[in-house]
Amino acid sequence: MLVLAIKGSPRKKGNTDYLLGLFMAEARKRGWETEVIDAVKENFEPCIGCGNCERTGFCSIKDTMPERFFSPLRRADVVVVSVPTYFYAVPARIKGLMDRTQTLWSRKYLFKIKDAGHDHRKGVLLAAAATHGRDLFDGIKLNVKYFLDAAGAAFEENLCYRGIDSRGAMERHPTVHGDVALLAQRVLSPFEQRRTWVFACRENAGRSQMAAAFARFLAGDRIEVISAGSAPGEKVNPLVVAAMAEKGIDLAFLKPVPLGDILEKCSPHLLVTMGCGQECPLVPGCRVVDWDLPDPAAMDLDGVRALGNEIEKRVNALVKDFSAAAVE
């Protein structure tokens, strides 16, 4: 379970940083992994409107954006945006990051491919402003709502404080601790009820990525789905990405991860192994299923498509069994 936060205030130890710190501390207390992207420090180049992402699905600006933002985003269950109000809008650096998300907008709306967590991921806004006007947060809420939509998250909740200006004002707010604890409870607790399934293969570049994507797509609100490899490769196999895109599922920007790291962090209820051989570990108390499926590394696109269909069938059956057992 990952909460990914995007921090937008240029002020050191500012009010919205304090708010975000409280939320992330609540998440960690509840056993979540947390990651923060500081939009000011990252200093990404803003969108230049060249249209490259609309033609190719990728940004023409070559920087760390895909690795720093898109990769963790695709793993996240919850995305938090924390921002001060600057002229009824968000500060410039975080707006630059948001605009670069046009790449994901293009993939979703023009190429019609969505990442597998899209329908289950939740978004939260934390904001502060000095004044008290009724419409104070209208612009920010609209901006964040549509940014989250492109990023593949539903704008679920917000906590916006008026009359907060000098440094330390947020800390002195009489109800902020309780407000944040309740918000964290509402947003995070539904995810905490899920079972955990891990799909593992050797490189985490093909089979386990496809299986995890199907499972997440079908049941991500009921199952925490993780994929990993016993000897992780550099990147997801491009033919696997292409075959899944034909099914409307976007695997771009995902990165192979080591199985050992995953099993250190979580205790899965189900482990599906696909050719990780001797290196596939035994996990106490966990149901292990082994699927004898070929490695797509040497396959052409037709071969990968057929493998994808087979994996989809097997994942469908797993989810169906799980749903039936849950009803019984």
Q: Which parts of this chain interact with ligand FMN (CB under 6 A)?
A: 9, 11, 14-17, 84-88, 128-131, 136, 164-165
- Beta strands 154-161 and 122-128 are parallel
The DSSP element (H or E) to which 219 belongs, if any, is: helix 207-219
Closest distance to ligand FMN from the beta carbon of 34 (Å): 18
Q: Which residue is nearest to ligand FMN (CB)?
A: 14
Nearer to ligand FMN, 15 or 143 (CB): 15
**CB 176, CB 170: distance < 8 Å:** yes
Closer CB to ligand FMN, 133 or 248, in the complex: 133
- In angstroms, what is the minimal distance from the CB of 3 to ligand FMN? 19
**Which segments within the chain are labelled E, that is strand?**
2-7, 33-38, 78-84, 122-128, 154-161, 195-201, 223-229, 270-273, 287-290
Helices (H), 112-206: 138-151, 176-192
Tell the smallest beta-carbon distance from residue 11 to ligand FMN (Å): 4
Residue nearer to ligand FMN on the CB measure, 161 or 253 = 161
Question: From the CB of 15, what's the least distance to ligand FMN, in Å?
Answer: 4
Q: Which is nearer to ligand FMN, 114 or 162 (CB)?
A: 162
Residue number with CB closer to ligand FMN (12 or 62): 12
* Of the candidates 3, 57, 61, the residue with the CA atom closest to the CA atom of residue 28: 3
Name the minimum Å distance from CB 170 to ligand FMN. Answer: 7
Distance CA 264, CA 60 (A): 37
SS3 percent helix, strand, coil of the chain, rounded to 5, is 45, 20, 35
Q: In what order do the strands lie in the sheet with 287-290?
A: 223-229, 195-201, 270-273, 287-290
Q: Of 17 and 250, which CB lies nearer to ligand FMN in the complex structure?
A: 17
For residue 144, give every residue at least 6 positions away whose Cβ sits within 8 Å of its Cβ, in sequence order, or none: 81, 83, 90, 123, 125, 155, 158
Residue located via tokens 């948001």: 98
**Cβ nearer to ligand FMN, comparing 11 with 55:** 11
Minimum separation from the CB atom of position 2 to ligand FMN (A)? 23
In Å, what is the CA distance from 4 to each residue of 17, 22, 139, 154? Answer: 14, 14, 23, 14
What three-state secondary structure class fits 154?
strand
CB of 93 to ligand FMN, least distance (A): 12
**Closest CB to ligand FMN among residues 138, 192:** 138
Collapse the DSSP code of 48 into the 3-class scheme (helix H, G, I; strand E, B; otherwise coil) and give the result: coil
Q: How far is the CB of 194 from ligand FMN (least distance, A)?
A: 33
